[in-house]
Structure formats: C-alpha cells, structure tokens
A and B are shown apart, each in its own frame.
Chain A
Amino acid sequence: MEAFETSKSPLARDSIEQAGEVMETLAWEMLRLRLSMLVVNELVKRRAFQVPIHLALGHEAVAVAVSMAMGAHDRLLLTHRNIHYNIARNADLAAEIAEYRLERDAPGGGRFGAMNLIAPENGIVYTSSILGNCLPVAVGVAKGRAVKQADAVTFAVTGDGALEEGAFYEALMMATSLRLPLIFLVENNDWSMYTRVAERRCALDLQRLAEAFAIPFRRLSGDDAEACLKGMTALRADVAEAQRPAIVEVTLATLGDREVTEEGKPPRTINYHHGGAAHISYEAGPIIEESERDPLYRLSGRLPAETWRRLVAEARAPLDGFLA
C-alpha cells in the first residue's frame, strides 16, 4: 500500500485550455463510463452477481471530473455507491466485473465485494458501506499524505443521506482544524434509499455550513460535464494551494427511477437505489433520457453530431463482447 502512486489522470490539468481536445476526452470518458455501467446493469438483470450493486447512472459527470482533476498522488475515498469512480479510474471493465464476481484473480482478489470496492493502484484507498464512515478516514489519509510531504489532495465522497451522520461534522471539524487539503464531495441526488430530503429532514444549507467553518464552498450541476470538470479542477488547485478543506455539492439525478400509476391514485415516482434498472438497456443507450437530467444527453448536444456518433461507436466496440 505504501508505494503506489497514481498516474491514471487521462488529462494533464494544465492542458485544460485546449478546449476541443478536452471536450473529446471528456465525452469519451463519459461514454465509456455510461456504457460500462449499462453493461453492468445488463449483468445485474441476468443475476450474474451475488453482491449488491448500486449503479450510478446520471453520476458520470462528477466521477469523470474528479478522475480527470486528480493529481498523480491524490487519494479518493468512496461510499456504497462507488461504481462510477471505480470505472472512471479503471479502464479495464473486465477487472471490475471480476471483482463483482468475487474472482480470485481480480485486482483486489474479489475480497471487497461491491460496496467496499477499492483500487489503491488508482488512488481509491478506502471505500465504506457505512454512511459517513469514510469521512473521518479521509482526514487521516489527508494527514498521512501531508506527513509524507506528497503534493496531494484527498477527495472524500458522501451523499445527501450520509451527510446526516455526525461523522460528517466531526470530519469537517477535524480537517479544518488540522488545515488539511481535503475535498468533501457531496453527491446530492435528493434521495436516501426511498425518502427524499424533504420527506426525512430539514433543509441544510451547505454553503452556510462551509461559511461557518470559513472554508470554500462550490455548487456544481451534475448534468453538466464540462462545468463539473472545470469546477473540480479549479477547486483541486485551490485546495492544494491554500492547504485547507473545501465542500463541493454536486446536484444530480440518479437515473433509473420510474413513474408508476395505479388505478385511482396519482402517479408516483419509484426511485432507483440499487440492483438492476429494469427499463434501462445497453442497447438503447448511451442516452437514457432526452432531458437535462441526463448528463450524456446534455453533452451530446455540445459536440458535432458526427463526432458524437464516432465516439459512441468507439466506446461500444470493446464492450459489446461482455454481453455476447
């Protein structure tokens, strides 16, 4: 564990100005991630795995942005919903699937299942299925990086549900007190299992919470891949420079939800939490919804149609075999 340093960042951070090239890299990474998750969804529907898998369809922009923004010595700590980061950081879907199949020759030896999947060689040093649990650990990881004088930022991902845990506040308190370069990344999909924020708790203004700690706050829109990449890259640079934590809240939709109508009742939404998303298919992908909720739909409109078609075909080619 001591020796690894990551070098998976597909894009040097200073080349971000080369807009056309960046857009294509971004689109390629988004497509690869979306289609890979759609492959996994098909396999889940076929009951290929015994471990519970929390898909992150709709979360692609933030995962790709973090992966591209990460420096070679950075660290990333994750939650139960980690597939998007694991795939964004690992181009080898077969390895990912081998982990879910608990195969011994998978990179992690199939020892972690899905909800605790790590990939130290990609900077993913810790993943927890316990809400809030990874945040204090991230504080220690950030300190460990500092002790070793690594030029590193640590990213800790949490959800709108997990931040309700006391560990969120404690970790903020400790990271701020110790002035550690740690980004608290909140993926706000409005849901904690089957309750919306408004159904279960008071509103929480994270910007004001960050103000209370005197640390920066950014809000990013998870449907906008380009904005996520720019925002995350800038925030990483700021945190590295200032050597203190920051909070970033990414609002997004976890796709896979659906409307149901029962006779005599108003239509209601059944959200997606985990398992297979029955009405979503790899064939019909990569775009799941022609709406602004789907970051792939939004991104497709930003590229010439020809380029988009080519990238989709290129991204599909190595994946088709998984479902043969």
Chain B
Amino acid sequence: MTFVEIINAAIRERLARADRVVCFGQNITVASCLSGLTRDLAVHAGIEAINTPNCENAMAGFGFGLMLEGVDSIFFVKQLDFLLLAADQMVNTWNMARQAGATGSFTIVPIVVDSGFEGPQSRLNNLADFCSLGDFEAYALSDANAAETIIARHLVAPGFRLLAPSQRLFRSAADQEAPEGIDGEAGIFKLASGDAATVVAFNFAWPQARSLRAVLAAAGHPADLFGVAAVNRIDWTAIAESVARTGRLILIDDSRSMNRPGERLRSALADRGIAHRALPLYRRIDRRDLSPNPDRFVLDEAAVLEWIARSEFSVTDRTIGHAHG
C-alpha cells in the first residue's frame, strides 16, 4: 500500500467506529477524491460526505458551528496554503468555542503540498506557524505507522486540531518499520535505539532522519531516533532522558517556519540542566524557494559523521539548503 492509501484506510477505519460525522471539503467525493485521501468516506449511514463550494473561511466557521452543536466534523483541504483564508475562524472562533465549552470534534485535514514545483504560493510546509497563532493541536503525518496511531486517536475526539499529511510522500511505499515505542498521545514516536546520539525529526523530515540514522549505524554510531509528529503540547521527557544518556542531540526540521519545536526542546533541556552538544539541521529559509524547484531537504550526512567523531564540546548551528538546480 502507498502512504495515502494507508491514511485513507485509517480514516475510514476511524469513521466506521464513529456514530455520526459530517465530512466536508471541495471535491472530496469526486474524481481522484483528493489523490485518494478522501475516497469512500461514507462508510455507514451516519457519515455524511459533502462537496462544498470554494469558501474556506465559511467552511472553517461551519466546522466550529457544528462543534458548538456537539456534532463532529472533518474538513478536508486540498492544500495547506488555502487555510490562510480561514485563519480568522481557526484562531478567533476556536478561542470562543473552547471558552464556551463546545463539545464536538472538529478536525481539519490539509494536505501539505510540498513538491516544490507548485510555485511561490505553495510554500507553507509546516503547522507550527498556525498552531502558534491559535494554540491548537496539530500533527504532521509523514510516517505510515505513526499516522495510523494519530488518526485513530485524534481524528474524532472533542476539540479542534489539524492532521496534515505530506503530499510528497503520498505515493511512497508505506513500508517503514514499526516504531519501537509509540506515544501517540504525546505525538512523539521512538523509531530506533542507540547510544551514539539522539536524533529527533520534526515536521515531515522523518525520511531524512531515518536515512541519517542508517548512515550513522553503518559507521558504528547507532543513535536513538525520535519522530515528533506534534507541534504543540509536547512532553519532552522521553527525549530528555535520551539526551541525558547520549550527550548528543541532532535536530532535523524541514519546515519553512521560524517557529521551530526543536528550539523549544533545547530550552526544555537547558531548564533541566542536561549537558549536551546540539546539531540543529534546519531548512534555510530564503527567497530562492519562491521559484519552482525540487524543494529537496538534503542532509550532509558526512558532515554529521564528522561532528559525531569530534570530541570537543561545542554547539554548532547549521542550516541546510536544498538543491536549486
């Protein structure tokens, strides 16, 4: 199965267990059904699937109105960037809905269009920026096993959140190894174990992190590997314990945000007084990616190996660009 097929199956599985959910979005039951994401949602009579007009602000408000009435809903969005038109509802209405004690579940599932070739207005590739505005939960879906857990737990549950899959990964084979430890509630997944370093993947950089971990292991430096799907309300305990043991922290974040959960992790480690060396591998944010490009986030794995091998205690900040051709 491909990644998008796994996600679609997990969504339908969760809907089958729900009594009544209003699913809505543009073109969700026609043609490709958003590349297969929304295929066959109406798994039983209580599940409604509505093709709506193109009005993102009204659609987000619609979900909150349903939530106020205690009715669960899911809003599927073809591209994360389109949600900027709904920002008022996502921030201001959510503030009121939770203050009013609304009981329904409202989940927005926006596809993160991160191929790079879509041009200058398909640039939003992270959830941290939205979440910071509205203080709501969000989960990046870039790993099949983690996605299944997150969808099962969070797709239909009281409150509001975003569950966003990466389009770049839609067609990829979903054959990752099962995580070693799953803590879907906290949004952190332990993917592999080792003592040489603590590698933490944020946003959609899990494939890069897996690949880096394999290179390190092959060179005799097996590392702990964590995937952080959540961007908000993260309990850092497991990662802090790992860093206390390994003494080395490698942060990998492909997001084009200045608001990086990895920096919150670093503050949390500082608060706990955990001495370590840190290597943040972040995407460079610059204007060159306004032009269509492959949008590759490629790690310099050899440089990381070198960093591991060096004995001096230093903190190096490094940004990693992508190929601009």
Contacts and interface: CB of A to CB of B under 8 A. Distances in A.
Interface of A: 1-2, 111-112, 116, 118, 120, 125-128, 130, 133, 135-145, 147-148, 166-167, 170-171, 173-174, 177-178
Contact of B63 (A1, A140, A147): A140
A125 B60 contact: no
B58 A133 contact: no
12 contacts: A1-B101, A112-B100, A120-B100, A125-B68, A133-B88, A137-B65, A140-B63, A141-B68, A145-B69, A167-B57, A173-B53, A178-B50
Given A120-B100, A145-B69, A147-B22, A137 B61 contact: yes
B70 A133 contact: no
B176 interface: no
B58 A144 contact: no
B100 to A, nearest CB: 6
A140 B101 contact: no
Nearest to B61: A136
Given A126-B68, A166-B57, A170-B55, A140 B88 contact: no
A136 B85 CA distance: 13
Given A143-B22, A143-B66, A148-B69, A1 B61 contact: no
Q: Is the interface of A mostly helix, strand, loop or mixed?
A: helix
B258 to A, nearest CB: 26
Given A127-B96, A136-B60, 9 more contacts: A1-B69, A1-B100, A130-B92, A137-B64, A138-B65, A139-B61, A144-B66, A147-B69, A167-B88
B32 interface: no
B236 interface: no
A183 to B, nearest CB: 15
Interface string B64-77: 11111111010000
Interface of B: 20, 22, 48, 50, 52-53, 55, 57-71, 73, 88-89, 92-93, 96-97, 99-104
Nearest to B71: A144
A139 B58 contact: yes
B165 to A, nearest CB: 24
A224 B114 CA distance: 58
Contacts of A127: 96
Contact of B70 (A2, A171, A178): A2
Contacts of A140: 61-69, 73
A153 to B, nearest CB: 14
B93 A1 contact: no
Contacts of B99: 111-112, 116
Given A1-B102, A1-B103, A148-B69, A136 B89 contact: yes
Contact of A177 (B52, B68, B92): B52
The 8 closest A-B pairs by CB, nearest first: A140-B65, A136-B61, A144-B69, A170-B58, A170-B55, A140-B62, A136-B58, A141-B65
A138 B57 CA distance: 12
B93 A133 contact: yes
Contacts of A139: 58, 61-62, 65
Given A1-B100, A144-B69, A174 B22 contact: no
Contacts of A112: 99-100
Contacts of A2: 70, 103
A145 B88 CA distance: 23
Nearest to B67: A140
Given A128-B96, A143-B71, A147-B71, A133 B61 contact: yes
Nearest to A134: B61
A80 to B, nearest CB: 12
Contact of B69 (A128, A141, A170): A141
Contacts of A142: 65
Given A147-B20, A167-B58, A136 B65 contact: yes
A9 B97 CA distance: 25
A164 to B, nearest CB: 14
B93 A128 contact: yes
A165 to B, nearest CB: 9
Contacts of A147: 20, 22, 48, 66, 69, 71
Nearest to B62: A140
Nearest to A175: B58
Nearest to A140: B65
Given A111-B99, A112-B99, A116-B96, A135 B55 contact: no
A177 B50 CA distance: 11
Contacts of A137: 61-62, 64-65, 68, 89, 93
